[in-house]
Amino acid sequence: MKRLLCIMLVMVLCSFTNQKSRILPKGSLFVIGGGHKDEHLMEALVQTAQLSSTDYIMILPMASTIPEESVLDMTKQLQKVTKNKITSINFSRSDAGNRGLVDSVRRAKLIYITGGDQNRFMSIVEHTALFDAIHSAYQQGACIAGTSAGAAIMSETMITGNQLKDSIYRSTFDRLANENLETARGLGLIKSAIIDQHFVKRSRYNRLFTALAEFPEKTCIGIDEGTAIIVRQNTVKVVGESQVIVAKKPRGLKKKSNGMITWDNLTLSAYDEGQMFKLK
C-alpha cells in the first residue's frame, strides 16, 4: 500500500512539473535580421513591447566590440519613437552574477541585444543569473529584442557563423555539405526554430539548408536586413521592408558518404510585412 501511494505521489509530481514546463511566456520576441532599422521598424518594436510610462528599456551590448557606440546608436534610434527611460549594462562574466545588476535586467519591459558576435554574447551570459533573468523577464511579459547576432542568440540551437569544413570565415557558405555547420547553445527563447540573419542580402540559403539537414525537426527562419519577426508564443508576424524565408519538413533527406546532402522536397515559404505563420 505504501509503495502504491509513493508511486501515485511521484506521478502527480511529474504531472505538475510537466505542466509547469508547458507554461507559455507572457512576453514577446522582436527579432531583427540586421542592417538599417528605419523609424517604422522602431515604432513596431515599441508597440510590441507595450511600454507603460514607467517602464524602461535595457540595452545589452555584449556581442559588440564597440559596445559604447552600439548603445549610443540604438539609444538615438529609440529616442525618436519613445520617451521611456533607456539604460544599458555592458556585462562582464563576473557581472552576470551580480544580483543588483541582474535584477535591473529582470525588471526591464524591453530588453534589446545588439549586433556583433553571438559567441561573445553567450560566453558572458551562458550558465549565469543573467541568463535566468532574461528568461524570467520574458515569462513575465517583457519583450526581448535583438538584431543580427542578437537575432541568432534567440534560438536554442544557435548558428555560430562558422563552417566546420573551412577554417576561413565566410559570410555566405560556399557549399551545401553534411556536418559543415557549427552550432552552439543560444538563449533558447525559441526552441523549435533556428534563426539566421542578413538573409536575402547575403544569400545565406546554403547555410539555412545545411541547418535544416542537420536539424530536420526544426523550422529554419532566415530574416533579411531591415526586417523583423514578432513572436508571440507559436505565432509569428513579419514587419519591415524585406522578406523572411522559412524552410522546414525536408522529405527524403539523405546524407551521403561523400558529404553531399539531398532531399526530394521541403516546405519553403517567403513572407513579407503583415504576413503570419506558425513556428511549428
Domains of the chain: 26-278 (3.40.50.880)
* Nearest alpha-carbon partner for 31 in 280, 224, 267: 224
Which of 8-17, 18-27, 106-115, 197-206 has the least mean pLDDT? 8-17
Dihedral sign for Cα atoms in the order 143, 160, 32, 245: negative
The share of the chain scoring above pLDDT 90, in percent, equals 87
Instruction: Answer whether 201's CB lies under 8 Å from 225's CB.
Output: yes
Whether 16 has a pLDDT exceeding 90, the answer reads no
* Nearest alpha-carbon partner for 142 in 31, 22, 78, 50: 50
pLDDT in the model for residue 163: 93
Digit-coded pLDDT (tens) for 131-166: 999 999 999 999 999 999 999 999 999 999 999 998
When pLDDT is cut at 50, 70 and 90, the band that residue 167 belongs to is confident
When pLDDT is cut at 50, 70 and 90, the band that residue 4 belongs to is low
3-state class (DSSP) for residue 262:
strand
pLDDT in the model for residue 17: 44
Q: What is the pTM of this model?
A: 0.91
Whole-angstrom CA distances from 104 to 20, 53, 127 are 25, 17, 18
